[in-house]
Amino acid sequence: MNDNIETKNLRLIFIGAGNIAQSIVKGLLNCSYLNSKQIFVYAPTERNSQIFRDLGCHFTTNVQNVISFETTESNLHFLLFICVKPNIAKQSEFLSMFNEILLKKSNENFLIVSVMAGITLEWIESNLTIENRSNFRDNLVRIMPNTAIEINMGTIGVYWKSSKSSTTNDLLIKKLSELLNQLGKSIKLDNEEQLHSIIGVAGSGIAFILTMIQGMIDGGVSVGLSRNLSRDLVIQTFIGAAKMIEKTGTNPIQLRENVCSPAGTTIAGVEILEQNALNGTIIQAVKKSAERSKELSK
Protein backbone atom coordinates (compact mmCIF):
# COMPACT_ATOMS: atom_id res chain seq x y z
CA MET A 1 0.00 0.00 0.00
CA ASN A 2 1.15 3.56 -0.75
CA ASP A 3 2.06 5.57 2.33
CA ASN A 4 0.09 8.50 0.96
CA ILE A 5 -3.42 9.01 -0.31
CA GLU A 6 -3.39 10.94 -3.54
CA THR A 7 -5.58 14.04 -3.41
CA LYS A 8 -7.19 13.08 -6.71
CA ASN A 9 -8.53 9.96 -4.99
CA LEU A 10 -10.31 11.93 -2.28
CA ARG A 11 -14.07 12.49 -2.35
CA LEU A 12 -15.73 14.92 0.04
CA ILE A 13 -19.38 14.49 0.95
CA PHE A 14 -21.09 17.29 2.86
CA ILE A 15 -24.30 16.63 4.77
CA GLY A 16 -25.58 20.19 5.16
CA ALA A 17 -24.92 23.10 2.83
CA GLY A 18 -24.94 26.09 5.19
CA ASN A 19 -22.33 28.60 6.32
CA ILE A 20 -19.66 26.23 7.50
CA ALA A 21 -19.96 23.78 4.58
CA GLN A 22 -19.64 26.75 2.22
CA SER A 23 -16.60 28.10 4.07
CA ILE A 24 -14.80 24.74 3.94
CA VAL A 25 -15.56 24.23 0.24
CA LYS A 26 -14.61 27.79 -0.76
CA GLY A 27 -11.37 27.59 1.22
CA LEU A 28 -10.37 24.32 -0.46
CA LEU A 29 -11.24 25.55 -3.95
CA ASN A 30 -9.49 28.93 -3.40
CA CYS A 31 -6.17 27.17 -3.03
CA SER A 32 -6.96 24.59 -5.73
CA TYR A 33 -6.35 21.77 -3.27
CA LEU A 34 -8.83 19.65 -5.12
CA ASN A 35 -11.24 19.76 -8.01
CA SER A 36 -14.82 20.88 -7.41
CA LYS A 37 -16.08 17.64 -8.99
CA GLN A 38 -14.58 15.76 -6.05
CA ILE A 39 -17.11 17.48 -3.79
CA PHE A 40 -20.67 16.24 -3.30
CA VAL A 41 -23.10 18.29 -1.20
CA TYR A 42 -26.43 17.13 0.21
CA ALA A 43 -29.11 19.32 1.83
CA PRO A 44 -32.85 18.76 2.12
CA THR A 45 -33.73 21.94 0.19
CA GLU A 46 -32.35 23.81 -2.82
CA ARG A 47 -31.79 26.93 -0.63
CA ASN A 48 -28.00 26.87 -1.07
CA SER A 49 -27.79 24.74 -4.21
CA GLN A 50 -26.80 27.54 -6.61
CA ILE A 51 -23.79 28.50 -4.50
CA PHE A 52 -22.35 25.00 -4.83
CA ARG A 53 -23.38 24.54 -8.46
CA ASP A 54 -21.69 27.86 -9.32
CA LEU A 55 -18.55 26.52 -7.66
CA GLY A 56 -18.79 23.42 -9.88
CA CYS A 57 -19.64 20.94 -7.09
CA HIS A 58 -22.25 18.21 -7.22
CA PHE A 59 -25.37 19.13 -5.26
CA THR A 60 -28.38 17.01 -4.43
CA THR A 61 -31.51 17.05 -2.29
CA ASN A 62 -31.88 13.30 -2.78
CA VAL A 63 -29.98 11.15 -0.34
CA GLN A 64 -29.97 8.20 -2.77
CA ASN A 65 -27.64 10.24 -4.99
CA VAL A 66 -25.21 10.53 -2.10
CA ILE A 67 -25.27 6.79 -1.63
CA SER A 68 -24.65 6.09 -5.30
CA PHE A 69 -21.93 8.79 -5.64
CA GLU A 70 -18.73 7.26 -7.05
CA THR A 71 -19.42 3.65 -6.22
CA THR A 72 -17.58 2.25 -9.21
CA GLU A 73 -13.96 3.20 -8.51
CA SER A 74 -12.27 1.11 -5.85
CA ASN A 75 -9.30 3.28 -4.84
CA LEU A 76 -11.30 6.24 -3.55
CA HIS A 77 -11.25 7.66 -0.01
CA PHE A 78 -14.24 9.49 1.40
CA LEU A 79 -14.47 12.26 3.95
CA LEU A 80 -18.03 12.61 5.14
CA PHE A 81 -18.50 16.05 6.71
CA ILE A 82 -21.50 16.47 9.00
CA CYS A 83 -22.38 20.16 8.77
CA VAL A 84 -25.84 20.38 10.29
CA LYS A 85 -27.01 22.07 13.49
CA PRO A 86 -26.80 19.86 16.57
CA ASN A 87 -30.59 19.87 17.05
CA ILE A 88 -31.02 18.49 13.51
CA ALA A 89 -28.49 15.73 14.16
CA LYS A 90 -30.56 14.60 17.14
CA GLN A 91 -33.71 14.10 15.04
CA SER A 92 -34.61 10.51 14.27
CA GLU A 93 -35.11 11.22 10.51
CA PHE A 94 -31.61 12.62 10.29
CA LEU A 95 -30.11 9.69 12.18
CA SER A 96 -31.82 7.12 9.98
CA MET A 97 -30.64 8.94 6.83
CA PHE A 98 -27.11 9.18 8.18
CA ASN A 99 -27.06 5.50 9.13
CA GLU A 100 -28.39 4.58 5.71
CA ILE A 101 -25.48 6.39 4.06
CA LEU A 102 -23.01 4.68 6.38
CA LEU A 103 -24.51 1.27 5.77
CA LYS A 104 -24.03 1.67 2.03
CA LYS A 105 -20.62 3.32 2.27
CA SER A 106 -19.16 1.15 5.02
CA ASN A 107 -17.19 -0.98 2.57
CA GLU A 108 -15.25 2.07 1.45
CA ASN A 109 -12.37 3.91 3.05
CA PHE A 110 -13.93 6.78 4.85
CA LEU A 111 -13.84 9.12 7.83
CA ILE A 112 -16.81 10.85 9.39
CA VAL A 113 -15.81 14.42 10.15
CA SER A 114 -18.24 16.18 12.46
CA VAL A 115 -18.18 19.97 12.52
CA MET A 116 -21.04 20.16 15.03
CA ALA A 117 -20.50 22.08 18.23
CA GLY A 118 -21.49 20.21 21.36
CA ILE A 119 -22.02 16.75 19.83
CA THR A 120 -19.50 14.32 21.25
CA LEU A 121 -17.88 11.41 19.44
CA GLU A 122 -19.40 9.13 22.06
CA TRP A 123 -22.86 10.46 21.21
CA ILE A 124 -22.29 9.91 17.49
CA GLU A 125 -20.99 6.39 18.09
CA SER A 126 -23.92 5.55 20.35
CA ASN A 127 -26.34 6.65 17.63
CA LEU A 128 -24.85 4.48 14.92
CA THR A 129 -27.23 1.66 14.26
CA ILE A 130 -24.80 -0.10 11.97
CA GLU A 131 -23.59 -3.53 13.04
CA ASN A 132 -20.27 -3.59 14.93
CA ARG A 133 -20.51 0.12 15.54
CA SER A 134 -17.47 0.07 17.86
CA ASN A 135 -15.44 -0.71 14.71
CA PHE A 136 -16.39 2.73 13.50
CA ARG A 137 -14.86 4.49 16.51
CA ASP A 138 -11.63 5.02 14.59
CA ASN A 139 -13.52 6.56 11.69
CA LEU A 140 -14.89 9.44 13.75
CA VAL A 141 -13.22 12.85 13.90
CA ARG A 142 -14.42 16.16 15.31
CA ILE A 143 -13.21 19.47 13.97
CA MET A 144 -13.96 22.96 15.22
CA PRO A 145 -13.13 25.58 12.61
CA ASN A 146 -13.87 29.26 12.53
CA THR A 147 -15.19 31.01 9.45
CA ALA A 148 -11.77 32.43 8.47
CA ILE A 149 -11.18 29.03 6.82
CA GLU A 150 -13.01 30.53 3.84
CA ILE A 151 -9.96 32.71 3.17
CA ASN A 152 -7.50 30.00 4.27
CA MET A 153 -6.72 31.82 7.52
CA GLY A 154 -8.84 29.71 9.84
CA THR A 155 -8.12 28.14 13.19
CA ILE A 156 -9.24 24.52 13.42
CA GLY A 157 -9.24 22.31 16.49
CA VAL A 158 -9.15 18.61 15.59
CA TYR A 159 -9.85 15.65 17.82
CA TRP A 160 -10.08 11.92 17.25
CA LYS A 161 -9.73 9.00 19.61
CA SER A 162 -6.43 7.32 18.93
CA SER A 163 -7.19 3.72 19.78
CA LYS A 164 -6.53 0.79 17.51
CA SER A 165 -6.37 2.63 14.26
CA SER A 166 -5.64 0.75 11.06
CA THR A 167 -3.10 1.82 8.49
CA THR A 168 -5.88 3.03 6.19
CA ASN A 169 -7.31 5.21 8.92
CA ASP A 170 -3.87 6.59 9.81
CA LEU A 171 -3.43 7.57 6.17
CA LEU A 172 -6.88 9.13 6.01
CA ILE A 173 -6.28 11.10 9.21
CA LYS A 174 -2.96 12.27 7.77
CA LYS A 175 -4.77 13.30 4.59
CA LEU A 176 -7.48 15.10 6.58
CA SER A 177 -4.78 17.02 8.50
CA GLU A 178 -3.17 18.00 5.20
CA LEU A 179 -6.55 19.16 3.88
CA LEU A 180 -7.32 21.16 7.03
CA ASN A 181 -3.93 22.85 6.90
CA GLN A 182 -4.96 24.29 3.52
CA LEU A 183 -7.70 26.12 5.40
CA GLY A 184 -5.45 27.72 8.00
CA LYS A 185 -3.84 26.32 11.10
CA SER A 186 -5.12 23.00 12.38
CA ILE A 187 -4.29 21.93 15.90
CA LYS A 188 -4.59 18.34 17.15
CA LEU A 189 -6.15 18.34 20.60
CA ASP A 190 -5.28 15.89 23.37
CA ASN A 191 -8.79 15.55 24.65
CA GLU A 192 -12.28 16.25 23.39
CA GLU A 193 -13.08 18.68 26.23
CA GLN A 194 -10.56 21.13 24.72
CA LEU A 195 -12.96 21.65 21.82
CA HIS A 196 -15.09 23.77 24.19
CA SER A 197 -12.08 26.03 24.79
CA ILE A 198 -11.37 26.19 21.05
CA ILE A 199 -14.92 27.41 20.55
CA GLY A 200 -14.36 30.14 23.17
CA VAL A 201 -11.05 31.32 21.79
CA ALA A 202 -11.38 30.74 18.04
CA GLY A 203 -14.80 29.45 16.88
CA SER A 204 -16.78 32.13 18.70
CA GLY A 205 -13.63 34.08 19.52
CA ILE A 206 -13.43 35.44 16.00
CA ALA A 207 -16.67 37.31 16.76
CA PHE A 208 -15.06 38.93 19.84
CA ILE A 209 -12.13 40.15 17.75
CA LEU A 210 -14.58 41.45 15.12
CA THR A 211 -16.38 43.38 17.87
CA MET A 212 -13.08 44.98 18.95
CA ILE A 213 -12.31 45.83 15.34
CA GLN A 214 -15.73 47.45 15.01
CA GLY A 215 -15.08 49.52 18.15
CA MET A 216 -11.71 50.68 16.80
CA ILE A 217 -13.23 51.64 13.44
CA ASP A 218 -15.99 53.61 15.20
CA GLY A 219 -13.29 55.22 17.34
CA GLY A 220 -11.45 56.34 14.22
CA VAL A 221 -14.65 57.84 12.83
CA SER A 222 -15.33 59.63 16.12
CA VAL A 223 -11.92 61.36 15.92
CA GLY A 224 -12.65 62.53 12.38
CA LEU A 225 -11.44 59.82 9.97
CA SER A 226 -13.60 58.65 7.10
CA ARG A 227 -15.03 55.17 7.76
CA ASN A 228 -13.03 53.67 4.89
CA LEU A 229 -9.75 55.16 6.05
CA SER A 230 -10.44 54.13 9.64
CA ARG A 231 -11.29 50.60 8.46
CA ASP A 232 -8.03 50.29 6.47
CA LEU A 233 -5.96 51.59 9.39
CA VAL A 234 -7.63 49.30 11.91
CA ILE A 235 -7.29 46.18 9.74
CA GLN A 236 -3.56 46.83 9.31
CA THR A 237 -3.16 47.61 13.01
CA PHE A 238 -4.77 44.28 13.99
CA ILE A 239 -2.68 42.34 11.47
CA GLY A 240 0.46 44.17 12.64
CA ALA A 241 -0.26 43.48 16.32
CA ALA A 242 -0.96 39.77 15.74
CA LYS A 243 2.10 39.31 13.52
CA MET A 244 4.33 41.11 16.05
CA ILE A 245 3.29 38.68 18.78
CA GLU A 246 3.82 35.73 16.43
CA LYS A 247 7.16 36.84 14.98
CA THR A 248 8.84 38.25 18.11
CA GLY A 249 7.44 35.67 20.55
CA THR A 250 7.04 38.55 23.02
CA ASN A 251 3.93 38.54 25.16
CA PRO A 252 1.25 41.14 24.33
CA ILE A 253 1.54 43.04 27.62
CA GLN A 254 5.28 43.55 27.09
CA LEU A 255 4.63 44.82 23.57
CA ARG A 256 1.97 47.13 24.98
CA GLU A 257 4.37 48.44 27.63
CA ASN A 258 6.90 49.19 24.90
CA VAL A 259 4.52 51.75 23.37
CA CYS A 260 3.34 53.33 26.64
CA SER A 261 5.68 56.27 27.18
CA PRO A 262 5.28 58.19 30.46
CA ALA A 263 2.33 60.60 30.38
CA GLY A 264 1.94 59.76 26.69
CA THR A 265 -1.00 59.18 24.38
CA THR A 266 -1.05 55.37 24.62
CA ILE A 267 -1.14 55.12 28.41
CA ALA A 268 -3.95 57.70 28.39
CA GLY A 269 -6.03 55.33 26.19
CA VAL A 270 -4.92 52.19 28.07
CA GLU A 271 -6.16 53.78 31.31
CA ILE A 272 -9.67 53.96 29.83
CA LEU A 273 -9.51 50.32 28.74
CA GLU A 274 -8.40 49.28 32.23
CA GLN A 275 -11.06 51.42 33.95
CA ASN A 276 -13.65 49.60 31.83
CA ALA A 277 -12.06 46.21 32.50
CA LEU A 278 -11.65 45.29 28.82
CA ASN A 279 -9.27 42.44 29.60
CA GLY A 280 -11.58 40.94 32.23
CA THR A 281 -14.57 41.36 29.92
CA ILE A 282 -12.83 39.43 27.15
CA ILE A 283 -11.85 36.67 29.56
CA GLN A 284 -15.48 36.43 30.67
CA ALA A 285 -16.67 36.28 27.04
CA VAL A 286 -14.31 33.39 26.24
CA LYS A 287 -15.33 31.54 29.42
CA LYS A 288 -19.04 32.07 28.79
CA SER A 289 -18.77 30.80 25.25
CA ALA A 290 -16.88 27.66 26.36
CA GLU A 291 -19.45 27.11 29.14
CA ARG A 292 -22.31 27.46 26.65
CA SER A 293 -20.65 24.86 24.45
CA LYS A 294 -20.51 22.49 27.46
CA GLU A 295 -24.19 23.14 28.22
CA LEU A 296 -25.15 22.37 24.62
CA SER A 297 -23.28 19.07 24.71
CA LYS A 298 -25.40 17.75 27.63
What's the rounded Cα separation, in Å, for the pair 152 and 11? 20
Among 4, 19, 248, 254, binds ligand NAP (CB under 6 A): 19
* Beta strands 154-160 and 184-188, pairing class: parallel
- What is the nearest approach in angstroms of ligand NAP to the Cβ of residue 225? 30
| Residue 116 interacts with ligand NAP (CB under 6 A): yes or no | yes
Give me the least distance between CB of 73 and ligand NAP, in Å please: 25
Instruction: By CB under 6 A, tell whether 147 contacts ligand NAP.
Output: yes
C-alpha closest to that of 166 among 139, 140, 131: 139
Element (H or E) spanning 83, and its range?
Answer: none
Q: Does 84 bind ligand NAP (CB under 6 A)?
A: yes
CB of 146 to ligand NAP, least distance (A): 6
Stretch that binds ligand NAP, among 28-36, 140-148, 151-159, 179-187 (CB under 6 A): 140-148
Q: How many residues bind ligand NAP (CB under 6 A)?
A: 25
Other C-beta atoms closer than 10 Å to the C-beta of 289 total 19
Is residue 48 within the footprint of ligand NAP (CB under 6 A)?
yes
CB-CB contact of 111 with 79 (8 Å):
yes
State which of residues 25, 76, 117, 148 lies at the interface with ligand NAP (CB under 6 A).
117
Nearer Cβ to ligand NAP, position 117 or 171? 117
**Cα three-residue angle 93-98-101, rounded to 5 degrees:** 130
* 20 part of the interface to ligand NAP, by CB under 6 A: yes
CA distances from 107 to 36, 38, 67, 71, 160 (A): 24, 19, 12, 10, 21
